[in-house]
Structure 1
């Protein structure tokens, strides 16, 4: 995946080179006025070497490591602190630039590009504090340096964060486009082969009757599942959310009827997975206890503050006390897989059943629910 921050790194490299030559020009003009000219020359030589090394490393993505950027910030500030030994007392109290001068701020730009606004702000504060420590005074020029150091970190960091997020969104869009193209290709292939065969088996089996009719019914169920699967759009969005409606649509069979909103119902991955698991468990209980001819209906409703799920069947219903007996016998499917999940999500679940009148589960869960973080009631 391409790094959207590459233009920022190029700008940083250019700025570091320009800042070095700016510092070198002031070094030439102020050389005779330094307290320790030779130490100033050594400091400038280190700046030249470090500038060449980092520009060479930062030109490729592999070289832009957190370790190197952290070392960069340390080296830049260490060289700047040498001014305590290089500058005279008069220079300390004057607006004359240090040996490092604006090259000092290139540590902020490197941190901001690598770590975003947070890293840029933190490094800007550190370098501003170092500047005040070396100079040992507060004035209008010092206030301006402080604002510039912190401001540069914030502005470049903000652009770095935006570039990173844009790159991630673009990569996600490209992956989604590729997945959609592959899904459409597979859908055409399945439609032209498997679905046509299943449709033919279903029609021919129904005509023959007997055991062939049973095979025809199974073929019809698989045909519906395949059609639902290839018609479902990719679930995950660029924000890490999933479409619960798409997850429920693939549960549609000849006996299971699914009704969902026309628009995607986007929820967090965990919340969507847990709600889909609740529906699957409820449908599994229909298959196990209500008979092979029982029809089931799944209804999904999206309200402003909550998600409402209903799973209803036309089976024989659940006799009074049967759920308590199942829990006492150690069969915890409903108690844990259904009620337990809903409770962990901070939701509410109701059961409406009677002998001969079918069963209906209604689940209400807050849209912002997260498992094991919120606790709600159950009735």
Structure 2
């Protein structure tokens, strides 16, 4: 709703009350007028004009410049006609009385303080001509109308500028959220495939190595694009910059990042080793608005190296929120598998804990890897590796939740993801 729209409605009320007041003053002092007929005719015309043009002062679009000129001309004409009706100066107020402030305020609402200043000066000059001299009362009334109209005009200009700024900010926020969503999808699919092609091509050699090199270059360019043009810097000893995933080239513990195409399926999973983390989400969540049991989505991640602990009762969230939460958990597990060494074979063990609280659903992903070096996450984000910021924190932020990451060198990494429950 426009900030100025209530002011237009207030102006409609003011004009109606003002014309009724002017008519009341005239009727009350009728016998004191030396020539009441011209005054009565003018007030009849003024009343008809006021009620007939209420629609014109309903908004800035309807309040056109020709209407404003006619409106203020009618007010000035009433001021200059007052000496004819009140030749003995017995009544005091002019025929339009306080109604004449309405056109000035309309100028202020339509064009800002500059239009208001011009209209108030015109009305002030008409009052001085009607009185024939500048008296204290005349000067006070003119100054009051002038200050009030200019102040309102200035407030309108500020309100309009604020509305434009707010609208632009909302557009930027919407565009940023959409870009982050697209960047998450790209990170969780295209970038991972390109990284896999680069690694496999390098390992196979020959023509495949050239294909891998080209895939690595495209990965670098795409990472720069989704991270607002921040070009990734090559890691130490890395032949192709950007070839390593989310946490960068140095090995670190993982609960946080993008999906992998090498996820180990859980017991009973009817998928091959190339199933990515999004498959579990697709298996248990759809685009419907009904509730979804988060346990069903997360249980597919359980395996020989992933332990899943869940409540005995269903943990329900809207399908879209449950799917995004499961995708964030999959991203965390992918980084555990890719970056956290811990067991005898250099692979870490991970644990998933699902908790159902009265106001939120909490999922904790912990691993026994070596932990993340201090400052590594910030450096990875600067290099265009947006796994933690987009695939995990971005998803939780869009759901109104949070993702807290704690890493202790030598003791592994823990990510706590909290999604609030929204009661219908």
TM-score (norm. length: structure 1) = 0.56
User: Are 2:225 and 1:225 equivalent residues in the alignment?
Assistant: no
Contact 2:203 2:209 (C-alpha < 8 Å) held by counterparts: yes
User: Are 2:15 and 1:16 equivalent residues in the alignment?
Assistant: yes
Deviation at 1:104, TM superposition (A): 0.8
User: Paired residues, what number?
Assistant: 237
Deviation at 1:9, TM superposition (A): 1.2
SS at match of 1:63: coil
**What corresponds to 2:86 in structure 1?**
87
CA–CA distance in 2 between the matches of 1:223 and 1:117? 55
Deviation at 1:143, TM superposition (A): 0.9
Deviation at 1:49, TM superposition (A): 1.9
**What corresponds to 1:99 in structure 2?**
95
**What corresponds to 1:51 in structure 2?**
50
* Unpaired stretches in structure 1, ≥5 consecutive residues: 233-248, 258-379
**What corresponds to 2:147 in structure 1?**
151
**Judging changes above 3 Å, is the alpha-carbon distance between structure 1 residues 9 and 182 closer, same or farther for their aligned structure 2 residues?**
same
Bigger share in helix: 1
Deviation at 1:205, TM superposition (A): 3.0
Deviation at 1:253, TM superposition (A): 8.1
Deviation at 1:37, TM superposition (A): 2.3
Contact 1:95 1:141 (C-alpha < 8 Å) held by counterparts: no
Deviation at 1:96, TM superposition (A): 0.3
**What corresponds to 1:331 in structure 2?**
none
Deviation at 1:252, TM superposition (A): 6.1
CA–CA distance in 2 between the matches of 1:131 and 1:169? 40
Structure 2 counterpart of 1:115, from 111, 116, 119: 111
Matches within 5 A, 1:318-357: none
User: Are 2:171 and 1:172 equivalent residues in the alignment?
Assistant: no
Structure 1 counterpart of 2:120, from 113, 124, 146: 124
Residue by residue, what CA displacement relative to the aligned partner does 1:296-331 show, whole Å, maximum 9, x if unpaired?
Answer: xxxxxxxxxxxxxxxxxxxxxxxxxxxxxxxxxxxx
Task: Supply the RMSD in Å over aligned alpha carbons.
Answer: 2.8
Q: Which moved more, 1:119-128 or 1:74-83?
A: 74-83
Deviation at 1:214, TM superposition (A): 4.0
Residue by residue, what CA displacement relative to the aligned partner does 1:231-275 show, whole Å, maximum 9, x if unpaired?
Answer: 33xxxxxxxxxxxxxxxx356687999xxxxxxxxxxxxxxxxxx
CA–CA distance in 2 between the matches of 1:198 and 1:85? 90
**What corresponds to 1:32 in structure 2?**
31
Q: Which moved more, 1:214-223 or 1:177-186?
A: 214-223
**Judging changes above 3 Å, is the alpha-carbon distance between structure 1 residues 27 and 200 closer, same or farther for their aligned structure 2 residues?**
same
**Judging changes above 3 Å, is the alpha-carbon distance between structure 1 residues 229 and 97 closer, same or farther for their aligned structure 2 residues?**
same
Contact 2:120 2:145 (C-alpha < 8 Å) held by counterparts: yes
Looking at CA atoms only, which structure, 1 or 2, has the larger radius of gyration?
2
CA–CA distance in 2 between the matches of 1:191 and 1:118? 53
Matches within 5 A, 1:63-82: 63-82=62-81
**What corresponds to 1:191 in structure 2?**
187
Residue by residue, what CA displacement relative to the aligned partner does 1:273-294 show, whole Å, maximum 9, x if unpaired?
Answer: xxxxxxxxxxxxxxxxxxxxxx
CA–CA distance in 1 between the matches of 2:161 and 2:213? 49
Residue by residue, what CA displacement relative to the aligned partner does 1:122-159 show, whole Å, maximum 9, x if unpaired?
Answer: 21112111211222111111110121121111221122
**Judging changes above 3 Å, is the alpha-carbon distance between structure 1 residues 99 and 211 closer, same or farther for their aligned structure 2 residues?**
same
Residue by residue, what CA displacement relative to the aligned partner does 1:67-113 show, whole Å, maximum 9, x if unpaired?
Answer: 4334433333334333354331x32xx67001101101111111111
* Unpaired stretches in structure 2, ≥5 consecutive residues: 235-239, 243-424
CA–CA distance in 2 between the matches of 1:215 and 1:66? 68
